[in-house]
Chain A
Amino acid sequence: MKRTFSYLLLLSITFTTHFAVAQEREMKVAAIDWTQIETLLALGVHPIGAAQIADYNAWVKSPAIPSRTVDLGLRTQPNLERLAELKPERIFISPMFQSLTPQLSRIAPVTNIALYKKGDVSWQAFKTYTQTLAKDTHREAAANSLIQSAQATLATLSKQVPAHTPPLLMMQFMDARHVRVFGTNSLYGIAAQQIGLQSAWHRQTNKWGFSLVGIDKLLGVKGQIVVIEPLPAGVEANLRQDAFWQYLVKQTGHPMLKIPPVWSFGAIPSTVRFARLLTTAIHQESK
């Protein structure tokens, strides 16, 4: 107790940044869901174990997982023996991995936090989600500053967006003929909305915020096409010689925008990243 106290004292003297608000030593947490990992990292919590680190770094990209975090293996079946050896104090999961609860709770208390629910994904939901995670890791102050800085960034970006920007048709290619189009309930949709832009996709989406459609269904949708990378192998070459795709882009009346990979099912960090990349892309195009 005494040691903790002196440590705290030292901390509060040394750090004047928001790290100073860490009221106690860092909790040993493990996380399975990438959305939770990205949020935890943004809150300054470094999980001792995370699932599928290499894939996280390829698909979520930022914030990067520090190298001392141990890889737990697959998200659907995190390695129980390794997890038991790490002795975490808390394990975070999302409802998607609910069936793991009986096994994981033998190692440490399991906290199940949901984000993607039907008709319930919004900027407000992102904020609540961040605050819930922060509360469970004692990072309330970090959460407030994360939300505030995110809102400030988004507000700045919204001022940079040209006023005449059309509604956006945001999509990810699955193969040469199928796309996920993101609309309501999606991260991309929220990011666009936060910087004052509209989504051009008004059809119903699933609880992850996308519709899976053939590109023939995009005909007649009025809006600027925004393609989020990565494009599957061979698709780029295929689109270049696809007369229908050329026509599709032409009929929107705007050039196609391409955005580097952003995790489509993330929370605040991915939203801010997407908003930034989107603004840059719009700027470059209008030049």
Chain B
Amino acid sequence: MRHIDTNETNRDETNRDETTAVTSDVVVRITDLAVHFGAAKAVDGVSLDVAPGEVVALVGESGSGKTTLIRAVQGLQPVTAGSIELPGGESRGRRRRPDVQMVFQDPTGALNPRQTIHEIVAEGLRIRRERGDETARVIEALGRAGLRPAERFLHRYPHEISGGQRQRVVIAGAMVMEPRLLLADEPVASLDASIRGEILALMRSLVDETGLAIVAVTHDLGLAWNIADRIAVMYLGRIVELGPAEEVLADPQHPYTRALLSVVPEMERMEQQILVGETPDPARIPTGCRFHPRCPVVASGEAARLGIEARCRGEDVVLTERSPAHSAACHATA
């Protein structure tokens, strides 16, 4: 794993007490992050540390705030409250960091149709006015992203290559900046099934080779199982379960995670739990546990039997540890 030095001198005095903790073992520390769009609380109190060389999968339904969370970390989304700390300073608002890069869900949309592959991959270098042999670095980045021979791609346009190749170009354009953290928004959702595995393998190999950390947003638990070291399950703007991938998948502590898992086709041993209703409106978050209106534990009366139904309906829950490094936010399984 590559050693990552932190720039201790550039930190703001204001978050001195927090920065002491941000050392080389964390590439991003998210603390009580909230992103609100008017009344809608897309992200509502998320804390997460990501270590170098680690892949964290953010899973959850549409509207759970996964994408908003990583856009905020990237600095594309103004933050309402809380902090996002990176080694060497905070990333908020317009200040963007070359060591945090993003891979998008739709590689076709993420590439300017009027730029050649060369221009696209070199764009970050040009923006940063980096000296040195631009073409050589572009070729190296394309090669690392699996586009070989890279020279054949340099002068092509995005519409002349396949979807999987486009996503590789996006990855090359991010990797040329030598990021410590790569944020991936549904990186394979728009790709053919046959290509998904290749892109995931590429991302995994980048982690293993460079010590890069990845936060990947996905609604696909199978994908999370394939590449993630840790899984964070999000529901309505909060992380409701967080832990090592095997533990979360093998021994889910939160009823929402169980419901998500039960509908994965491979999980035959589990009884299917179809959640009733849509994800609630993030502008009107339920009182108590935000999952209680859809929670199978509450609906089946088990919560009442356990004598915690009133707490489910009225008392907010926070993440508590179930085993080392594995935590969940649920009254019933606490």
A interacts with B: no
Which B positions have Cβ atoms within 8 angstroms of A? none
